[in-house]
Structure 1
Amino acid sequence: MKISQRLEKIASMVQSRYDHIWDCCCDHGLLGAKLLDNNSADTVHFVDVVPELMQQVSTKLERFYPSPIGGAKRWQVHCIDVAQLPLANKEQTQLVIIAGVGGELLVELVQAILARNPQHTLEFILCPVHHIFEVRKALATLQLGLIDEHLMEENQRFYEVLHVSTQSQLPIALVGEQMWDITRSIDLRYLQKTLDHYQRIQVGLLQKPNQDEDKNIEITQIINAYKALQPQNCNNTR
């Protein structure tokens, strides 16, 4: 099955084999099916809250990934709130993938999963559709560490894909670090678009009669952090 470049990138970031992978907000199940094809886990879990969608996913999985005679089923379908994820026991390796949702909701889901499973060692691959700076800030506050990160573009939209863990000791940079290669056109265009976004916010704040000074300081700090990534401020391109 043909899947989007974004889902292909997420699948390519699954470098290890897990006992369980949880494909959350799975929509039509294309990413989870790719992970089944790649044999990325003993069990791939398809999770979403829309009953009609999950019934369709279940029907397709029964057709294309039937259980072998005498063998264990390689997938499960869950029509539940992602915040209520029924994780396996803490000794098993587990990857939770959340993509295609807004940054605020994504953070709420990660917070809920961690709060319900404080003893688990967990990895997450996360791809919010916006508010990535706020997502990074929240993940750092939750004491998650970076494994990998990538910047990509699809259908004239930019996406940051973060692979993080409860065990990694590598800090999550608020504006990203590993993903940048300023010799690439995509990086330069994304950086300029991001700077334009925050500079518009800054102008709006300055035009308000009772401007929020703390917010203005925060936005200025964000702008300066992104400006530091511009080519003339970089000693290298990685």
Structure 2
Amino acid sequence: MKTSRRLAAISQRVTKQYHDIWDCCCDHGLLGADLVKRNSANCVHFVDSVPQICQHLEQNLSHHLPYTSNGSTSQWQVHCEDVAKLELKGNGTQLVIIAGVGGELCIDLLKGILSNNPKFNFELILCPVHYQYELRQFLHSQEIGLIHEQLVEENQRHYEILHLSTAKHSPISKVGEAMWQLSNPKHQAYLAKTIAHYRRMSGNNTHPAQLAYEALQNA
């Protein structure tokens, strides 16, 4: 299967080698497989809570990526477990990737990961499919810093890709000021669509997100 534009953009954010990369809610495993081929980590971990997905993924990976060893650590591993219970390794740089799930679920997963690894600095790449504003609010409350953010279009939908760190970096914006190219008509259309969504949600009231995005639109 061909890597989508969205997954390719996430993969391109991985510009250095990590000790461990955790491809969470990995589904088909295309992203993690690409990172294994690029030797982006000592070990790429594929994590999903559905046994059938994990079994099929392990068979597929074994066929396309021979199960070889890099030092004392396998180049890839499949874990059938709840992402919210993930415990990171105690040494080396760690990158956790969560893509293709809603923002609300992403928040729940992050609460678990942060709780299980309270004194461990690691990086995150997130690409939620909904509730981006709410996710950004949560990240801001946890003082998770921004490394990079971008807006990617795929099949007439827009996806926000957030590269973050639990170590000190620039604070994250609740509306993502750094990713917008407001001279781009497609970005303008996505912003207008986002504002309309929060107008519908708020009814007779005004949602804080609506005000925040309107301020960005009028800047």
Q: Give TM-score scaled by structure 2 length.
A: 0.94
In 2, Cα distance between equivalents of 1:83 and 1:197: 29
SS, match of residue 33 in structure 1: helix
Cα offsets for 1:136-162 (capped at 9, x unmatched)? 000111110101111112122221111
Name the residue aligned to 2:166: 166
Name the residue aligned to 2:98: 98
Output the amino acid matched with 1:174.
K
Name the residue aligned to 2:212: 225
The within-5 A match list for 1:32-71 is: 32-68=32-68
Q: Which has the larger radius of gyration?
A: 1
Cα offsets for 1:29-86 (capped at 9, x unmatched)? 1010011122111100001011111111111211221134896520000000001113
The within-5 A match list for 1:9-28 is: 9-28=9-28
- Answer 1 or 2: which has greater strand percent: 2
Q: Is the 8 A contact 2:26 2:46 kept in 1?
A: yes
In 1, Cα distance between equivalents of 2:40 and 2:189: 33
In 1, Cα distance between equivalents of 2:152 and 2:146: 18
Q: Is the 8 A contact 1:147 1:168 kept in 2?
A: no
The within-5 A match list for 1:111-190 is: 111-190=111-190
Output the amino acid matched with 1:23.
D
Name the residue aligned to 2:4: 4
Identical columns (%): 51
Unaligned runs of 5+ residues in structure 2 are: none
In 2, Cα distance between equivalents of 1:92 and 1:67: 22
Name the residue aligned to 2:80: 79
In 2, Cα distance between equivalents of 1:180 and 1:157: 15
SS, match of residue 228 in structure 1: helix
In 2, Cα distance between equivalents of 1:9 and 1:127: 10
Q: 1:111 to 1:186 in 2, by over 3 A?
A: same
Cα deviation for residue 169 of structure 1 reads: 2.5
SS, match of residue 177 in structure 2: coil
SS, match of residue 181 in structure 1: coil
Unaligned runs of 5+ residues in structure 1 are: 207-215
SS, match of residue 178 in structure 1: helix
Cα offsets for 1:112-139 (capped at 9, x unmatched)? 1011111111111011110000000001
In 2, Cα distance between equivalents of 1:158 and 1:195: 14
Deviates more, 1:62-71 or 1:73-82: 62-71
Output the amino acid matched with 2:96.
V
In 2, Cα distance between equivalents of 1:5 and 1:190: 17
Q: Give TM-score scaled by structure 1 length.
A: 0.87
Q: How many residues align?
A: 218
Q: Is the 8 A contact 1:66 1:73 kept in 2?
A: no
Name the residue aligned to 1:212: none
SS, match of residue 183 in structure 1: coil
Q: Is the 8 A contact 2:87 2:113 kept in 1?
A: no
